A = this chain, B = another copy of it.
Amino acid sequence: MRLSRYFLPTLKDNPAEAQIASHRLMLRAGLIRQEAAGIYAWLPLGLRVLERIARIVREELDRAGAIELLMPTLQLADLWRESGRYDAYGPEMLRIRDRHERELLYGPTNEEMVTEIVRAGVSSWRELPRNLYQVQWKFRDEQRPRFGVMRGREFLMKDGYSFDLDEAGARRSYQRMFVAYLRTFARLGVKAIPMRAETGPIGGDLSHEFIVLADTGESDVYCDRAVLDLAVPGVEVDYDGDLEALIRAWTSPYAATSDVHDAARYEAEVPEARRLHTRGIEVGQIFYFGTKYSQPMRAQVTMPDGSARLLHGGSYGIGVSRLVGAIIEACHDDAGIAWPDAVAPYAVGLLDLRPGDAATGAACAGLYARLQRAGVGVLFDDTAARAGEKFARMDLIGLPWQLSVGPRGLAQGTVELKRRASDARIELDVDAAIARIAGIPSNGDIP
């Protein structure tokens, strides 16, 4: 993409309303624009990050056997009356009346609707287990939206739901998602720790939150530092196999949110040097809730002996839009964002340092074409801006590589390649630069 034809409205000054780095940087780098309290438009560069995150989420869920569908944003209030949650949900639910005075709501989560879909579509034990997920916009009418996309009102969430014949099956489904989440977050370039957590309005008796440690996080957490060094399961993990040992390794070290924190156990189990009491950002949560929804909604299948069996369920969320903020909290410096390769909107920023110069212009055009042919995402700053302004903008938007073409280097046949995160710079010839950038592992592997 040529910047001269792109839409990248960066801001020079720090927006006064932004209290944390990710909010500030998302506004300044032209990723989002606020359209109402807690409601954002995703500008082109931000949308690319959101889509890259969503793609990795989908790949890992598909690998684990989950199936994607898409439910509407609006739901009938009557559906939530079936489960009893309509009156219980409180003011965070955005309630709507249509022109015929029918009661609708903007879905904050979808346990009821997916249970209705499965109730209608599945009748025999043979058709289970199933795990259905969607990536869809949700709305929670927060009393005080803040921190940009971290606590917005309209937000993009991956929500998944498993349906099994019994508790043992449902716990295996829960384990599959546990493992898929470990892989997903690792591929996204963040360290998310699974922690025992409250079940809240979803209900049930088993839940883990996946939390990225960050001083600006809203979660108060306690854990054993041993959990920070555990190895994430590789791509060879067998979701049809026994995941017990893997889950045990990840759930044995103490890790809990303050809501369920057990100080006595923490102090007994965790040596003082390994105790970590800090803050974090919740980027995912998984729940086992048994028949909480299937019972009131009569979602059941016929067993081999002709009897009816209520479905055992769990649900699994990932905050896709929140992850953009969480990743920035973990990956930035004073100059701006430093995207992990896996979610970067473009892999490389190409800078023409002497716009109008025939030699640098031709060299840049050649590099731009070759990188694109190699399948590398390039944002080419072909504008008339001064070199200093171009460098600052590239540092702000945080593409992993910067490739600068100036007249002096070009006279010696070289360009400068800079790694944004480390600030490491190297002068090299054009072929070597392309080989270096195109060699980035693009997907599947955990960096």
Contact between B91 and A39, CB atoms less than 8 A apart: no
**Which of A2-10, A181-189, A213-221, A253-261 lies at the interface?**
A2-10
- Give A46 to B9 CA distance when docked, in angstroms: 36
Which residues in chain A, 92-137, are within 8 Å of chain B measured between CB atoms? Answer: 92, 94, 96, 98-99, 102, 104, 106, 113, 116-118, 120-122, 130, 132, 137
**Which of A17-25, A64-72, A432-440 lies at the interface?**
A64-72
Of A35, A117, A132, most B-chain CB atoms within 10 Å: A35
- Give A73 to B153 CA distance when docked, in angstroms: 11
A321 to chain B, nearest CB (A): 10
A71 to chain B, nearest CB (A): 5
Contact between B104 and A36, CB atoms less than 8 A apart: yes
Contact between A43 and B69, CB atoms less than 8 A apart: yes
| A341 beta carbon closer than 8 Å to chain B | no
| A294 beta carbon closer than 8 Å to chain B | no
- Give A39 to B96 CA distance when docked, in angstroms: 14
Given A67-B7, A120-B33, decide whether A74 and B139 contact each other with a Cβ distance below 8 A. yes
| A164 beta carbon closer than 8 Å to chain B | no
Who on chain B is nearest to A96 by CB? B96
A92 to chain B, nearest CB (A): 8
Q: How would residues 139 to 170 of chain A score, 1 for a CB under 8 Å from any chain B CB and 0 otherwise?
A: 10101000000000110000000000000000
Contact between B41 and A9, CB atoms less than 8 A apart: no
Contact between B104 and A99, CB atoms less than 8 A apart: no
Interface residues on A, range: 35 or more
Who on chain B is nearest to A50 by CB? B70
- Give A407 to B407 CA distance when docked, in angstroms: 71
Contact between A30 and B73, CB atoms less than 8 A apart: no
| A377 beta carbon closer than 8 Å to chain B | no
- Give A65 to B92 CA distance when docked, in angstroms: 40
Of A35, A92, A98, A113, most B-chain CB atoms within 10 Å: A98
| A47 beta carbon closer than 8 Å to chain B | yes
Which residues of chain B are near A120, meaning CB under 8 Å? 9, 33
Given A7-B121, A96-B94, decide whether A47 and B72 contact each other with a Cβ distance below 8 A. no
Given A44-B67, A73-B73, decide whether A35 and B141 contact each other with a Cβ distance below 8 A. no
- Give A68 to B6 CA distance when docked, in angstroms: 10
A239 to chain B, nearest CB (A): 11
Contact of A73 among B69, B70, B75, B154 (CB under 8 A): B154
Which residues of chain B are near A106, meaning CB under 8 Å? 74, 96
Which residues of chain B are near A68, meaning CB under 8 Å? 44, 47
Contact between A122 and B76, CB atoms less than 8 A apart: no
Contact of A143 among B43, B99, B116 (CB under 8 A): B99
Contact between B71 and A41, CB atoms less than 8 A apart: yes
Which residues of chain B are near A35, meaning CB under 8 Å? 71-72, 75-76, 79, 113, 116
Contact between A141 and B99, CB atoms less than 8 A apart: yes
Given A98-B94, A137-B137, decide whether A121 and B30 contact each other with a Cβ distance below 8 A. yes
Of A44, A70, A75, A116, most B-chain CB atoms within 10 Å: A70
Who on chain B is nearest to A39 by CB? B72
Residues on A lying within 8 angstroms of B by beta carbon are 5-7, 9, 30, 33, 35-37, 39-44, 47, 50, 65, 67-76, 79, 91-92, 94, 96, 98-99, 102, 104, 106, 113, 116-118, 120-122, 130, 132, 137, 139, 141, 143, 153-154
Contacts A41-B69, A41-B70 aside, 13 further interface pairs with beta carbons under 8 A come to A6-B67, A7-B69, A7-B122, A7-B130, A9-B120, A35-B75, A36-B72, A36-B104, A41-B71, A43-B69, A43-B117, A73-B154, A74-B106
